[in-house]
A and B are shown apart, each in its own frame.
Chain A
Amino acid sequence: MYDIKALYEAESIQDAIKLRMDHPEALIIAGGSDVLIQMRDGELAGRELISIYMINEMRGITLDEEGSIRIGSLTSFSHITSDPIIQKYMNVLGQAVDMIGGPQVRNIGTIGGNTCNGVTSADSASTLFAWDALIEMTGPNGIRRIPIQEFYIKAGKVDLREGEIQTAILIPKEHYEGYQGYYIKYAMRNAMDIATTACSVSIKLSEDKKILDDVRIAYGVAGPIPLRAGISESAGKGKEISQGLIDIIGKTVLEDVKPRDSWRASKAFRQHLATELVQGCLIEAIKLSGGVI
């Protein structure tokens, strides 16, 4: 039995918005693999919950009329990994979320929950950052979409306003077309562990596969929230592909990341990982794009 003060069940998005307005203190529970654990720990004990888990209109992956990939916020990790649209256009996201927890957790955990809890280690988040995803929220005043970088405010805090729920994550066509990506999660165990530090890279090569036309680099657990490595991206964009360039980007990321010492790993180790992981991701992404180093 969980220490839940009261539980309100939403049957539709509109229902969820109304419940949010009526019970501003209540927490949203999607799959519950964070909320229920924190409730058991005592951290969230005695809180009111709004369950959105049964809202089926928030599940599934589609291509919308503009060609954007639309991922319903309640889509489970395992469904993302096995989805043909994801496999075709953004396979790295399916691979990234396949590293979360274990199989049972990937069946219950949702991409909406993974991003709404605002943690830096979320395996979906760094890849969504690296693909310039948009977050869609529905609230009493309708729908609003913002870049994921603006969605994260600080550790544990996202830009979810009064009465709103996150309803989808979108990746516009121009953000995925022609791109390839790679994700490396460094953790102590192969399963049931969270990242010590993780890196996700997406790149677009020139037609002759020699120039890095675009490069987007994102990290998890390299700062209080997931982050983009803007300085390193500038150092790589438009440059000819070479081992030298990869080395330069690997060194430059130290200007972008701001990891800390924690019981999981030291700051120095995380900086070392930042350098190593980005190089590994770049090499793999270049190979996937048909380039050679």
Chain B
Amino acid sequence: MMSVQYKLIKCNINGKDTETMVDVRASLTDMLRNDYSLTSVKKGCEVGECGACTVIIDGECYNSCIYLAIWAEGKKIRTLESLLGPNGELADIQQAFIDEAAVQCGFCTPGFIMTAVQLLETGKEYNKEELRKLLSGNMCRCTGYENILNAVEKTMLRRLGKL
């Protein structure tokens, strides 16, 4: 048996500098959920296929389930909780998911929204085909994807002043 190894990990989570001792065997999902109570980060497949655990690290989307917690050292991490407005308001992309009925059971939603946040922040206009590809790392077993695509597309067009 190994003796448990711990490491002090300093990083910035949702705009706040933080540090915690993590077990070196932990995934970033484990750290965000257990040490920081960020439960929007869902444990789905835990093998990097479903995208339910998607978070943004230094501006890029990652499956936090296959990202070791120790790699978070020095990184800037964003989870769905970062979208919360000062008075509890929803972000435009979250509201669009509601308006378009893009949420059914809701388990995949935080991951989808974080993937959407990254692509919306590029400020580019993508066509449906490109959006499908950009969202292809997230799986939804309820909605059939069309409403999710519509929510992302409408938010993109609204932000670009085209809707």
Contacts and interface: CB of A to CB of B under 8 A. Distances in A.
A and B: bona fide binding partners = yes
A108 B137 contact: no
A293 B62 CA distance: 43
Closest 9 CB pairs of A and B: A102-B137, A191-B136, A104-B137, A7-B24, A104-B63, A107-B60, A103-B137, A4-B25, A102-B136
Nearest to A99: B133
Given A1-B30, A7-B5, A104-B61, A192 B25 contact: no
Interface in A93-107: 101-105, 107
A2 B27 contact: yes
Given A7-B24, A103-B61, A33 B66 contact: yes
A89 B138 CA distance: 32
A108 B63 contact: yes
Interface in A59-112: 78, 101-105, 107-108
Contact of B48 (A2, A37, A191): A37
Contact of A32 (B24, B25, B66, B137): B66
A192 B26 contact: no
Given A1-B26, A32-B67, A105 B115 contact: no
A230 to B, nearest CB: 35
16 contacts: A4-B24, A5-B2, A7-B24, A9-B70, A32-B67, A33-B66, A36-B27, A37-B47, A37-B48, A37-B66, A40-B46, A102-B136, A105-B48, A107-B61, A190-B136, A192-B49
A9 B24 CA distance: 10
A54 interface: yes
Contacts of A186: none
- Chain A interface residue count: which class? 20 to 34
Contacts of B71: 51, 53-54
Given A6-B5, A37-B47, A101 B66 contact: no
Nearest to B63: A104
A9 to B, nearest CB: 7
A40 B68 CA distance: 13
Given A7-B70, A51-B68, A78-B60, A104 B51 contact: yes
A104 B2 contact: no
A33 B25 contact: no
Interface in B23-60: 23-27, 30, 46-49, 51, 54, 60
A103 B136 contact: yes
A192 B51 CA distance: 11
A105 B49 CA distance: 8
A3 interface: yes
Most buried by B among A7, A41, A54, A104: A104
Nearest to A76: B60
B48 A104 contact: yes
B66 A108 contact: yes
A1 B2 contact: no
B54 A104 contact: yes
Given A1-B30, A54-B71, A192-B136, A104 B62 contact: yes
B81 interface: no
Nearest to A109: B48
Contacts of A51: 68, 70-71
A283 to B, nearest CB: 23
A82 to B, nearest CB: 11
A85 B56 CA distance: 26
A3 B67 contact: no
Nearest to B139: A192
B98 interface: no
Nearest to B111: A104
Contact of B137 (A29, A53, A191): A191
A107 B27 contact: no
Contacts of B70: 7, 9, 51
A81 to B, nearest CB: 12
